[in-house]
Amino acid sequence: MAERKLLSGPLARVEGEGSLHVRLRDGRVEEVRLEIFEPPRFFEAFLRGRAFTEVPDITARICGICPVAYQMSSIAAMEEACGVTVPEPVRALRRLLYCGEWIESHALHVFFLHGPDYLGYDSAFAMARDHRGIVERALQLKKAGNALMRVVGGREIHPVNVRVGGFYRAPTRGELASVVEELEVAREFARESVAWTAGLPCPDLEEDFEFVALRAPGTYAIENGRLASSSGLDLAPGEYAEHFAEHQVPHSTALHSRLRGGGQAYLTGPLARYALSGDRLSPTAREAADDAGLGSVVRNPFKSIVVRAVEILYAVDEALRLVDAYEPPDPPAVPVVPRAGTGHGWSEAPRGMLWHRYAIDEQGTILDARIVPPTSQNQARIEQSLATVVAAHAALPDDELQHRCEQAVRSFDPCISCATHFLRLEIERC
Amino acid sequence: MLTLVVGVGNPWRGDDAAGLEVADRVRARARDVAVETLEGDASALVHLWAGHDDVALVDAASSGAPPGTLHELRDGDGTLQAAALRSSTHAFGVADAVGLAAALGRLPDRLEIYAIEGGDFTLGAPLSPAVARTVDELATWLAGAGMCRTTDVRRPPL
């Protein structure tokens, strides 16, 4: 085959800046690199020396899409370090806030970032002209998620109401009731969205993923749980580092994460949650997933868009349940007295499991911080999937191959900003 | 007649608060004009201006012009997209939201977009003096425009 090298502009519709490098020799995949050149962000370093109470507000700034995930994982870690367990009403209100983030983040990804790929549009704007109803529905879903974030968190982006031990102020029942009507409309939209995504033309691809996600008794894990995996892990937050290792690769400012002993790449996020906790969805969400023909495990990454739609429906359903059962936590926060020690916390960010670990001294000053975001964990597995996608579609002309690769990358919803940001695609054929 | 002013910005980042400050001043001076502020996701604009057919949106700009410079941006002539009023790789920016509203047929009949050039976006900083002057002038002018029912052509004090 003649030598061919293809360079493209920044790949759009991913969160952050990075590029994809693909090298083919005689039609065979030689190398796939998800290159992340987002400058390092040093959050872990500048948390050192700060007060333990500052983690929710500082770490929320890592991401504008999933600030609640950072807040929840960080406060869980600090509460463990200080030996505090929050009362049930506080936990329920945290879960409600988190539902708002899932709805908002997933609606953005399903309709604005990933959806256009399936219908051959290069942007949501182009899609909006021909599919006005879909995009209107997406905006309504986002609006419902934003409303929850505002009522519980104080504002839509980077909520200000979250603290170690609970909340600064508990919303009244009346304030929460104000979002019910919007959520009920959103539930219908979400149900229709599952059917819409299930009907999108989807490339065939079955992969053998090692799924890793939190699992909680009787419920679809969001704000806490134990870590489960396809191969049977069952871990507490403090045991994470014994089983998973982060390592540097030259082409990325984000660390790669792999399972210790064998170095297997794994996948966290919607597909993993669905595979490990799909039996714990609400009846409405479960029924929608069954109607969409999802089965109990989804191994086609291109089908992740359907799973995200199911998770939007679940989050809306769960939010309505939590609002209905809401009793304002009184007081809104329990006292947390610092003590010297180490604490670990995790939760299910929209993009997957997010782990935090902090060491603090007896005054509560942070001595050491470690944050492992979902995109870091998924990077190695994304590269592996891309190699499969490229191999399966190597005969396609460069522009079509490029589109298929972009669609594949977006199916993992990488948040490169979190992991360390723009994707550029480079295909080298030699 | 102008019926809605939307101020966009971040109150904690110096001159990025210019749009919010204009909104606050219009609110204090003109009762006939609805005022909304937006600190977060610009996709909410489509809902904010629903029912309004004459809207002014005010944001901050960082283009390299002298601080306090007032830019008037229009959808359709490329100035809005070029200005790309966003400082996040994540959520919707104003230009994205306007593009989306246009695609959905949900732009107000009349939409004027003003951007005040900022000089200092330091965390916790007050408005720069030059920006504060433009904020005052634009707010006074917009508050007046709300009461002006007859004139068809409005020009800001550029």
pLDDT at A427 over 70: no
What distance lies between CA A179 and its chain's CA centroid?
24
Chain B residue nearest residue A143, CA to CA: B44
CB spacing of B41 vs A65 below 8 angstroms: no
Q: Is the minimum CB–CB distance between B100 and chain A shorter than 8 Å?
A: yes
**Number of domains present in the structure of chain B:** 1
| Alpha-carbon span A226 to A86, nearest angstrom | 17
If you compute the radius of gyration of chain B from its CA atoms, what whole number of angstroms results?
A: 14
Q: Per-residue confidence at B25, pLDDT binned at 50, 70, 90?
A: very high
Beta-carbon contacts of residue A155 (< 8 Å; ≥ 6 apart): A149, B39, B40
Q: Given B40, B46, B89, which is nearest A15 (Cβ)?
A: B89
- DSSP label of A14: S
C-beta of residue B118 within 8 angstroms of C-beta of residue B131 = yes
> What is the rounded CA–CA span in Å between residue A429 and residue A264?
28
Whether the per-residue pLDDT at A360 is higher than 60: the answer is: yes
Contact B45, B101 (CB under 8 A): yes
Contact A351, A415 (CB under 8 A): yes
Residue range B2-24: average pLDDT?
Answer: 93
Give the integer Cα–Cα distance in Å for A377 and A289: 26
Predicted confidence at residue B36, as pLDDT, reads 93
Please indicate, yes or no, if residue B155 is contained in any of the structural domains.
no
Other Cβ atoms closer than 10 A to A369: 22
Answer yes or no: are the C-beta atoms of A111 and A135 closer than 8 Å.
Answer: yes
Contact flag B100-A125 (C-beta cutoff 8 Å): yes
Identify any residues that bridge with A358 across adjacent strands, giving them in sequence order: A343, A369
Q: Which residues of A touch B47 (CB under 8 A)?
A: 139, 143
The segment with the largest mean pLDDT, out of A73-87, A109-123, A143-157, B98-112, is A73-87
Among A399, A359, A355, smallest CA distance to A377 is for A355
Q: What percentage of chain A reaches a pLDDT higher than 70?
A: 91
Q: Is residue A385 scored above 80 in pLDDT? A: yes
Mean of the pLDDT values across residues A193-199?
A: 97
Extract the tokens encoding A397.
């002309």
Question: For B126-135, how does the pLDDT look when each residue is reduced to its tens digit (9 = 90+)?
Answer: 999 999 999 9
CA-to-CA distance for A207 and B20, rounded, in angstroms?
50
Which residues on chain A are in Cβ contact (under 8 Å) with B100?
124-125, 128, 135, 139
In a domain? residue B91? yes
Quick check: B41 contacting A, CB < 8 Å? yes
d(CA A392, CA A398) in angstroms, rounded, equals 14
Strand A18-25 and strand A423-429: pairing? parallel
Quote the CA–CA distance of B21 and A300 in Å, as a whole number. 49
Whether residue B40 and residue A156 make contact (CB cut-off 8 A), yes or no, is yes
Range of the domain at B64: 4-147
Residue A108 DSSP label:
I
Residues of chain B positioned with their CB less than 8 A from the CB of A135:
100, 103-104
- Chain-chain contact of A128 with B43 (C-beta, under 8 angstroms): no
Q: How far A340 CA sits from the closest chain B CA (Å)?
A: 32
Task: Tell me the nearest-neighbour CA distance from A127 into chain B, angstroms.
Answer: 9
CATH class of A52-373: mainly alpha
Burial class (CB in 10 A: 0-12, 13-18, 19+), A381: buried
**Nearest CB to A417: which of B89, B99, B104?**
B89
End-to-end CA, chain A: 7
- Report pLDDT for B87: 45
Query: Looking at the domain assignment, is residue B120 inside a domain?
Result: yes
First to last CA, chain B: 20
Answer whether residue A370 shows pLDDT above 50.
Answer: yes
Chain A residues whose C-beta is within 8 A of a chain B C-beta are 15-17, 63-65, 104, 108, 124-126, 128-129, 132, 135-136, 139, 142-143, 146, 155-157, 417, 421-422
CB contact under 8 A, B90 and A136: no
Contacts of A400 (CB under 8 A, 6+ apart): A393
Sign of CA dihedral B46, A155, A86, A72: positive
Provide the whole-model pTM. Answer: 0.87
pLDDT tens digits, one per residue of A133-156: 999 999 999 999 999 999 999 988
Whether residue B150 has pLDDT greater than 50: no
Query: Alpha-carbon distance A295 to A99, whole Å?
Result: 24
Which residues of chain B lie closer than 8 angstroms to A122, CB-CB?
none
- How far is it, in rounded angstroms, from Cα A112 to Cα A31? 30
Q: CB within 8 A of B21, min separation 6: which ones?
A: B7, B127, B132, B135, B139
CA distances from B138 to A96, A99, B131, B155 (A): 41, 40, 10, 10
Q: Is the predicted pLDDT of residue B81 greater than 80, yes or no? A: no
Of the listed ranges A133-142, A233-242, A251-260, the one predicted with least confidence:
A251-260
Q: List all residues of chain B from 70 to 89 with a beta carbon under 8 Å from chain A.
A: 88-89
- Minimal Cα–Cα distance from B144 to chain A, Å? 31
CATH number assigned to the domain comprising residue B37: 3.40.50.1450
